[in-house]
């Protein structure tokens, strides 16, 4: 069972953070098919947030096909990221490391690297590519 944490200053809304944390857990293999997500009650009891926030996050994950709610029982992971995409992780990670090396050698500091990455990602996202 994974545990959630919220960062108040991250600029990302709470429900988004929950969604991201589930996705991250799936990517990292902390969650696999059949695992149960923490119950809404347990999440709010730990984080002191509105239950609707958790419900919204779980609904979005369900909409993405990653989890399914079973009435009266809980919310369960239905699929992990496909093996093919898992397989792509290795080479993608290598490419990223190369890119980071290049950015460093060009003289960018951490903040500039992150800003560049975020900006590019968002633009691509807006264009519907990423």
Partner 1 sequence: MSAVLDASGLGKRYRQRWALRDCTLQVPAARVVGLVGPNGAGKTTLLQLAVGLLEPSAGQIAVLGGRPAENPEQLGRVGFVAQDTPVYSGLSVGEHLELGSWLNARFDVATADRRIDQLGLDRKQRAGKLSGGQRAQLALTLALAKRPELLVLDEPVASLDPLARHEFLQHLMESVAEHSVSVVLSSHLVADVERVCDYVIVLAGSRVQVAGDVEELLASHHRLTGPRRDVTQLPSDQEVIEASHTDRQTTLLVQTSGPILDPAWTVEQIGLEDLVLAYMRRAGDAGRTTQTKHLGSVK
Token pair listed for 31: 């969650």
* Nearest residue (CB) to partner 1, 104 versus 122: 122
* Nearest residue (CB) to partner 1, 53 versus 80: 53
* Nearest residue (CB) to partner 1, 2 versus 40: 40
* Nearest residue (CB) to partner 1, 10 versus 85: 10
- State the Cα–Cα distance between residues 126 and 95, nearest whole angstrom: 23
**Phi/psi class of residue 74: alpha, beta or left (left: φ > 0; alpha: ψ in -120 to 50)?**
left
Per CB under 8 A, the segment of 21-29, 36-44, 91-99, 113-121 that binds partner 1 is 36-44
**Per-residue x/- mask for partner 1, residues 41 to 70, rule CB under 8 A?**
x--xxxxxxxxxx-----------------
Q: How far is the CB of 20 from partner 1 (least distance, A)?
A: 18
Q: How far is the CB of 59 from partner 1 (least distance, A)?
A: 13
Told to check if 123 binds partner 1 by CB under 8 A, we report no
Told to check if 73 binds partner 1 by CB under 8 A, we report no
Residues at the site binding partner 1, with contacts judged by CB under 8 A: 8, 14, 40-41, 44-53
């Amino acid at each position: 069972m994974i545990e959630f944490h919220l960062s108040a200053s991250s600029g990302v809304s709470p429900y988004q953070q929950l969604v991201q944390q589930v996705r991250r857990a799936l990517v990292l293999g902390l969650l696999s098919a059949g695992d149960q997500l923490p119950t809404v009650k347990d999440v709010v009891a730990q984080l002191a947030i509105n239950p609707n926030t958790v419900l919204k996050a779980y609904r979005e994950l369900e909409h993405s096909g990653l989890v399914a709610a079973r009435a009266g029982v809980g919310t369960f992971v239905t699929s992990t990221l496909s093996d093919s995409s898992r397989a792509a992780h290795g080479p993608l990670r290598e490419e990223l490391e190369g890119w980071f090396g290049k950015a460093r050698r060009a003289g960018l500091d951490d903040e500039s690297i992150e800003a560049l990455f975020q900006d590019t990602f968002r633009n691509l996202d807006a264009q519907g590519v990423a």
